[in-house]
Structure 1
Amino acid sequence: MQRSRSRIAVALVAATALSGLAAPPVLAADSHVKLTILGVGDLYNFDAGKVRGGFARLNALAKAEKAKNPNFLYVFDGDMLSPSLLSGLDKGENTITLTNIVPFDIAVPGNHEFDFGPANFFAKVKDSKYPWATVTITEPDGSQPPGLSRVMWKTIAGLKIALIPISEDDTPTVSSPGDLKFLPSVPTGIAAAKAARKEGADLVIAVAQTPHTQDFELMASHAFDVIMSGDDHDYMTAYDGITAYVETSIDAQYMDPLDLNITVSEKNGKKVVKWTPDFRFVDTATVKPDPETQKVIDGLKKKLDKNLGVVIGVTDVKLDSRRNVVRSEESSMGDLVADSMKVATGADIAITNGGGIRGDKVYEPGTKLTRKDVLTELPFGNKTVVTEIPGSQVLAALENGFSQVENGAGRFPQISGMNVVWDPSAPPGSRVASVKVGGQPLDKAKLYKVATNDYMLDGGDGYTALGGGKVVVNATAGGLMANDVMTFIEKVGHVTEQVDGRIKKVGG
């Protein structure tokens, strides 16, 4: 099925003039245009791409596609400033440097753009050689944040194209955007698309950092011709005869240059735009890295290796930081991190979110551990903080931690100083069967000093129960979690943390 849009040519020119743009060239009847759209998102590791993906292969592909077709749109659909090893040190500056080599036509802020706070994000916006935009982020008073555009317009081959940038609305829960306001992603994006269509857009393209559930709502609205989306870290394409959809993978591993084969004609004095999509799958293992980009990457790697390659200890046990483990059960790496936080602060207990542990690997006994290893596991730059709250809130925090295990949520708790028994077959909010602190049953009325990270203390990953207490050590005074772990490893020399039953399951 072909996508059709009709517009009066005079209205198109008038709408363009009102938008402050030069009138596009008038296409002859029955003109044919091929528009190529390349979307990418969820770019994290500067030195990724040993087999496929990475900035060097991405830039090579973008350069090649632009050279093949001047009717080209290059869009970024969110998440680059964090998390990664190097970003934990330079707060994402390396990703700006690497993407500036082949600038985007538009970049949409994802939730990870705010992991180091809004001030860092806006500083990186200034460093970018491309525009950032979103229709879903405002200042607290509803005004447009400085440096961020909203709907962006492009005129390509006489076609008036509206780019609708949509950021994820749960960013305040999963990141640290300060007091910025996030509007509902789906209705706000659809409203912007419909408004753009009324303004005379021939094509309406969403550039979105939204999960699949919201992607499918956007697609079902049929307000968009194309949706280029990130956030889910997978590769997916779809076309329902009206809207074409691409989920853009992770670290540019699998790419889909989307060609729109467009016919523009005139019928009864109206402009008629029809198109059909051509999805081209590219496994970037087949793409030769861009030499200019690779040279920058090699320089970054040498600098990083020199600073972080120092051995700080040895593990005598197997340390497991695999994603499916840290988000569903007690992990030896989770034990190490939580123990380090408890020891560093002298707190009664420590709770950290499994989703903040990102190495996704196994360290066999005898492995020499370096600073680089620790920062790979803890790339977010979170601070260790201490709050004093009653046992009732500790229990509520644990219930939150176990509430979405079946979804692989990052809120799963890794703990120290406690023994917890939980029942995955019970309904969320009623899964904790028992809790002991220091060998004694949890006292709901007793105040406990809890070491956690600043992200969780601010309510991240749904941990609102940690708030409202007496903050003994805040984020300003707290040290980096990664430094706490490094100090702990250096002090003990030999890591002996292993799964010891501090988290147990009962029931189904």
Structure 2
Amino acid sequence: MLTGDFLAPYLLSSIDKGAGMMKMCNGTPIDYLIWGNHEDDVGHADLMKREREYKGVWINTNMQSHESFKGSTCQVDVEVLEVVSRDGLNKRKIGLMGVLSNSPSLYRPGAFGGAKIEDPWETMATYKQKLEQERGCDIVVPLCHLYEPQDERTCREFDFPVVLSGHDHHVIDRVVEGTRLLKPGLDGHKAVILDLTWPSAVSSSRPTIKVEIVQVSDWPRDEQLAEEAARCYAVLEPLRRTQLTRVPNAYRPLSSAGARSQRVSMGTYLLSRIRDAMNMDTPLGGVLHCDCALLKGGNVRGGRDYSDNEHITLEILQSELEETKDIVVVQVPGSVLRVGLRETYETPNPGWMQFDDGVELDGDGYVVQIGSEPLDESRLYKVATISDFWRKRDAPSIGAWFEEHPELLPEPDGGKPIHALLLRFFAMQIWSRLWKELGLDGNGEVKDREAFQRMDHDGDGKLSKEDLRLTLQEVVGLDALEGLDVLVETMLGEMANFSGSSPSNGEEVVGEDALQNAAKHWSSNSLASMTGIDSEEDSN
């Protein structure tokens, strides 16, 4: 069983929307799944498809309002396992329920198609009683996607013999007030083997518990699954050499050399796009999700100068930004930011702070502007960054602020994978260019019908994968490399919520109505006013 976060987050799922991972779940097979917060990362329409593909049992106890639940062939509110001794005399029932965190900080507005996640502990209390009294279960085992302190609450408030949980990235095996709490950690490196034993038919309903946490790589791999995994990952190879976006002249000459001792233009460009990517779903005129993006220079790793005709590819992204990093948002007072960046500039070091193009320093290195507006020292600014930002030895004032206010540190699993975040933003940048070419106005109406017809190369009234590939070369000016198809699939995937089609369902087309609906939606979001979209027309 897997206790959530199986479809995402990782780079491949931002392209195939979890299709490859679902093949792995079915092929292994994984018998039981529960929801994790990152399942929402693949988008509602594609998540609905993945749910329909699963062949095991998906236990959903506290999010039954999700659109996929009604009429599902795999989801259940609970599962009851019946085990019988070899002589047939000792019969036991084990009740399983699956609960997902409802912490608001983990979710964007409208997550999971607007489904309501019920309170985990109220849900567990209700279903524990049902499983024990109505279904005759000897024990109930909750499968949870909760953080360790939340699991500790579960152990204290209930008499479960064992809690199987996920969400945290570290391994946990401990007893909390008589309940064994088990987590195998992230990425499937380790697995929990759990034995529950009742010695005889007359023994207590509470079993003997035996646990072993093992290294998965100690077992030989399944060759068929390994081949399937290689096929799934193969789509990334051509993308490494494919232009994802064009860098405007404002960031030229483009360089990441010396990022530990000076401001570098590649750092400025990438951080500006990270800021924009974090804000693009915000309603136009609404409160932005982040005010600025800051990253320590040791994280801008390329260390090279770029020629004037070099633009952003996945290969360049991987050389500059480590794929494993997640972008989080933290709150920092203007007074701390004013001096905090300057503290990192005394000598060349990995903590030398890079910043986006809306941040400005004075001649002495103090921050005077954020978001292209004068710094307000009394304001709490929302900073997009990664988990080393509050390391005190690099920036003492920033580190001290978080020592005093640990409650402002982000949820450990609340970040967004940096490459997937940027890939989605670059795809939406291109759609914005295409909408402009079509003359789509704020009402989502196509003003230039001939523009749509020029993009519809085969004249069938819809934009296919081939239509978009040709359009990217003609209108957007991206290089015609083999991996362009993968970028096209990412773009088509973004239209799934507006057309009901996506690259994973075989249709791979976008009709004029879907384009209109999408343009209308995005014209009311902050993407419509992002810097760096129109300015790409000024790139070489």
1:130 to 56, 69, 73: 56
- Gap regions ≥5 residues in structure 2: 85-90, 248-253, 307-311, 325-329, 341-353, 385-412, 416-441, 444-518
Q: Does 1:210 align with 2:137?
A: no
Instruction: State the distance in 2 between where 1:214 and 1:333 align.
Output: 40
Are 1:77 and 1:107, in contact at CA under 8 Å, matched by a contact in 2?
yes
- How many Å apart are 1:107 and its aligned residue? 0.9
Tell me which of 269, 272, 284 is aligned to 1:339.
Answer: 272
State the 1:181 CA deviation.
0.6
Report the Cα offset of residue 119 of structure 1: 3.0
Aligned residue number for residue 243 of structure 1: 179
Shift of 1:130: 1.4
1:212 deviation in Å?
A: 1.0
Cα separation, 2, equivalents of 1:227 and 1:116: 28
Name 2:502's counterpart in structure 1: none
Quote the residue 1:370 is aligned against. 313
Question: Identity, % of aligned pairs?
Answer: 18
Distance (Å, rounded) in 2 between the aligned partners of 1:354 and 1:79: 28
The answer to whether structure 1 residue 275 and structure 2 residue 207 are counterparts is: yes
Query: Which has the larger helix fraction?
Result: 2
Determine if contact 2:292/2:370 at 8 Å carries over to the other structure: no
Of 41, 47, 64, 1:121 maps to: 47
2:35–2:100 contact (8 Å) kept in structure 1: yes
* 1:228 is the counterpart of 2:228: no
Q: What's 2:426 paired with?
A: none
Larger RCO (CA within 8 A; separation ≥ 6): 1
TM-score w.r.t. the length of structure 2 is: 0.52
**2:222 aligns to what?**
290
Q: Give the counterpart letter for 1:178 in structure 2.
A: G
Is 1:169 aligned to residue 105 of structure 2? no
SS of 1:213 mapped into structure 2: helix
In structure 2, the residue corresponding to 1:182 is in which secondary structure? coil
CA distance in 2, matches of 1:331, 1:224: 55
Alignment match, 2:14: 88
**How far off its partner does 1:255 sit?**
2.0
1:151 to 66, 78, 97: 78
Aligned to 2:237: 305
Quote the Cα distance in structure 2 between the aligned partners of 1:340 and 1:307. 19
- Which amino acid is the alignment partner of residue 234 of structure 2? K
Residue type at the aligned position of 2:161: D
The worse-fitting range, judged by mean Cα deviation, of 276-285 and 345-354 is 345-354
List per-residue Cα deviations over 1:200-219 (Å, max 9, x = no partner). 11121111111111111111
Q: Secondary structure at the match of 2:42?
A: coil
Partner of 1:424: none
Structure 2: distance between partners of 1:334 and 1:475: 31
Corresponding position of 2:26: 100
CA positional deviation for 1:104:
2.6
> Equivalent residue for 1:33?
none
Superposed displacement of residue 305, structure 1: 0.5
The Cα shift of 1:154 comes to: 1.5
Q: Counterpart of 1:193?
A: 128
- Call closer, same or farther: CA 1:265–1:289 in 2, change over 3 Å: same
Cα separation, 1, equivalents of 2:129 and 2:238: 53
The amino acid that maps onto 1:371 is L
1:138 Cα deviation (Å)? Answer: 3.4
Q: Distance in 2 between matches of 1:183 and 1:138?
A: 9
* TM-superposition CA deviations, 1:127-149 (whole Å, max 9, x none): 111122221113299x9645332
The answer (yes or no) to whether the contact 1:317–1:364 under 8 Å persists in 2 is yes
For the residue of structure 2 that corresponds to 1:181, the secondary structure is: coil
**Range with greater deviation from structure 2 (181-190 or 366-375):** 366-375
Q: Deviations over 1:184-208 (max 9, x none)?
A: 1123223322331223111211111
Letter in 1 for 2:199: T
Say whether the 8 Å CA contact 1:207–1:229 is kept in structure 2: yes
Counterpart-to-counterpart distance in 1, 2:230 and 2:53 = 21
Question: SS of the residue aligned with 2:163?
Answer: strand
Asked if the contact 1:232/1:249 (under 8 Å) is kept, the reply is: yes
Deviations, residues 397-422 of structure 1 (Å, cap 9, x unaligned): 8769x99x9xxxxxxx975413499x
Q: 1:441 to 1:273 in 2, by over 3 A?
A: closer
CA distance in 2, matches of 1:338, 1:441: 19
Per the alignment, do residues 118 and 149 of structure 1 end up closer, same or farther by CA in structure 2, a change over 3 Å counting?
farther
Match of residue 476 from structure 1: 522
Matched to 1:236, the amino acid is: I
Q: How many equivalent pairs are there?
A: 351
Measure the CA separation in 1 of the matches of 2:5 and 2:533.
Answer: 27
**Residues 93, 124 of structure 1: 8 Å contact kept:** yes
1:317 corresponds in structure 2 to 257
Amino acid at match of 2:213: F
Question: Contact (CA 8 Å) 2:105, 2:414: kept in 1 or not?
Answer: no
Indicate the residue corresponding to 2:474 in structure 1: none
CA distance, structure 1, for counterparts of residue 373 and residue 105 of structure 2 = 36
Change (3 A) 1:307 1:102: same
